[in-house]
């Protein structure tokens, strides 16, 4: 393992918004720069935690409390749209897969 420190949660890092509907469409908007390129999103159902997984950095927990409805909506997902927004302007975005871990 390298000397990189674990990133703070996305919620703690700055302004953040996450939306998910019953069809499994998931949107994540963030204001601050992320520590690297997001390779995929991982949802650990048993722990009820969502992580951004990076190519060159440790995974970053999103850090939000998820009610049963949001948990169910995320569990239906196959893809996440991630958008970087600053000063109410869209900066960049990407689509990544979501891995649902239920073990």
Q: What is the pLDDT of residues 82-102, one digit of tens each?
A: 999 999 899 999 999 999 998
The continuous run of DSSP H or E covering 69 comes out as helix 68-75
For residue 92, being part of any structural domain is answered with yes
Q: Which two tokens stand for residue 78?
A: 């196959």
For residue 2, being part of any structural domain is answered with no
* pTM score: 0.85
Q: Which two tokens stand for residue 102?
A: 């239920």
- The domain of 62 spans 10-101
For residue 3, being part of any structural domain is answered with no
Q: DSSP state, 13?
A: H
For residue 38, being part of any structural domain is answered with yes
User: How many structural domains are present in the chain?
Assistant: 1
For residue 1, being part of any structural domain is answered with no
For residue 23, being part of any structural domain is answered with yes
pLDDT, tens digit, 9 for 90 and up, residues 45-89 = 999 999 999 998 999 999 888 999 999 999 999 999 999 999 989
């Amino acid at each position: 393992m390298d000397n990189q420190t674990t990133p703070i949660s996305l919620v703690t890092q700055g302004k953040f918004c996450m939306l998910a509907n019953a069809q499994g469409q998931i949107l994540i908007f963030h204001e601050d720069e992320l520590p690297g390129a997001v390779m995929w999103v991982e949802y650990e159902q048993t722990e009820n935690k969502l992580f951004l997984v990076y190519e060159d950095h440790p995974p970053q927990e999103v850090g939000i409390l998820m009610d049963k409805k949001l948990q169910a909506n995320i569990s239906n997902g196959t893809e996440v749209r991630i958008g970087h927004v600053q000063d109410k302007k869209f900066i960049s975005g990407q689509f990544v897969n979501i891995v649902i871990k239920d073990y």
